[in-house]
Amino acid sequence: MDLQTQNRSGGGIGFYIKDSINYRIRSDLNDPDIKILTIEIVKKNVKPFLITTWYRPPSDSIDSLYKFENCLQLIDRTDKESIILGDMNYDFLPTEISSQALELKFITRLYQYVQLTNEPTRVTENSRTLIDHFYTTNPNDITLCGVSTVCISDHYLTYEIRKSKFVKERGKIIEYRDYKNFGEQVFFLFQLRP
């Protein structure tokens, strides 16, 4: 699925979702003025969680960051685990991070997100940048996170593996007597004892 590409240039966003995964698009958590898309994963016996992808073109003003923050407010109100990933074009590698990148760090920490990508995601002859980020509100559920030098674009492939928490259904406890090896004589002996 692709989101809102009309009247825009540059990159886009989307999800590739396996047919066996139930999901629904959460348009109520998105802003039509930025390239952002949120879905809710709904699986039997698993707590629902949200995944958001955001593409911020390098030329976007700080207004797009504040629109992103508005989306975070809406996501926060759902009280669900949340994962956010995407090409945000804020470089977290240099020793002097830009003021907008610092603002993104502040906003994501405010909503209790942890950024897990920690190595370059785009490498050219002249630069090494970490501009593709992966945030989660539940870092203990991420079992593996990294960057692969497989290039299908000018960015490296980032990956994360999340463990599933299955919600145990409460079952009925049924108690019964097993008469398969019932010994009538032993039973009567215990009944006659004082």
Topology adopted by domain 23-169: Deoxyribonuclease I; Chain A (3.60.10)
The tokens describing 50, both together, are 């949200």
Reduced to 3 states, what is the DSSP secondary structure of residue 2?
Answer: strand
pLDDT tens-digit map of 52-106:
999 999 989 999 999 999 999 999 999 999 999 999 999 999 888 999 999 999 9
Contact 7, 19 (CB under 8 A): no
User: Which of 84, 104, 82, 83 lies closest to 92 in space, CA to CA?
Assistant: 104
Predicted TM-score of the model (pTM) = 0.76
Identify the helix (H) or strand (E) that includes residue 188.
helix 184-192
pLDDT tens-digit map of 96-147:
899 999 999 999 999 999 999 999 889 888 888 999 999 999 999 888 888 8
What is the amino acid identity at position 28? D
Identify the helix (H) or strand (E) that includes residue 14.
none
Gap between the Cα atoms of 134 and 161, Å rounded: 11
All structural domains of the chain with their residue ranges: 23-169
DSSP 45: T
Reduced to 3 states, what is the DSSP secondary structure of residue 28?
Answer: helix
pLDDT tens-digit map of 141-184:
888 888 888 767 778 888 888 887 655 555 666 666 666 666 66
